[in-house]
Amino acid sequence: MMKTQREKMTAGEPYEQFDPELITRRKLIREKLLTVNQLDNNEQRNQKIKDLLADTGDDFFAEAGIEFDYGFNIHIGNHFYANYHLTLLDTCPITIGDHCYIGPDVGFYTPVHPLSAKLRDADVELGKPITVGNSVWMGGHVTILPGVTLGNRVVVGAGSVVTKSFEDDVVIAGNPARIIHHLDENGDVIPGD
């Protein structure tokens, strides 16, 4: 059986971005988010955002300015908070665990564009999923690139560009992000680190 372009995209395989189903969904999401992001009632705004996502926990809060492509590839756990202007480019799945707190102007980017100009000119598109563990905190202006997995209890410093995956219980920062501290089971910096 032939895969749909949506199935190929979600699986991280090359897909046709101008597929009618995908264009229709992107247009629908843009239209809905124009209205949703104008709502000043937090409960109404967040319920309407939740309705556009694949799944979320009950305790979900995003400030105004959230943007995403499809919604059906976004999976968010319980006790989630995102500050203003969260961007989730969800050509592939973006999975975020429980008790995650996201600063303002953070971007999760799953699309991958080929290095080959010939392939880019041919509109070849693909992506890699992003996975974030539980109890992760990200400062403002963090960028998470395609294929990154962050473990549990990771802290990401403001302005960081995360280009690779990191294990549990670390503080990372920089461009590209690197480990600056390891944390113990209480969340304290391990001495001598």
Cα separation of the two ends of the chain: 53
Q: Are 151 and 133 in contact (CB under 8 A)?
A: yes
Token pair, residue 1, equals 């059986």
Provide the 8-state DSSP code for 81.
E
Question: Annotated catalytic sites, by residue?
Answer: 113
Q: Are 21 and 31 in contact (CB under 8 A)?
A: no
For residue 137, count other CB atoms closer than 10 A to its CB: 17
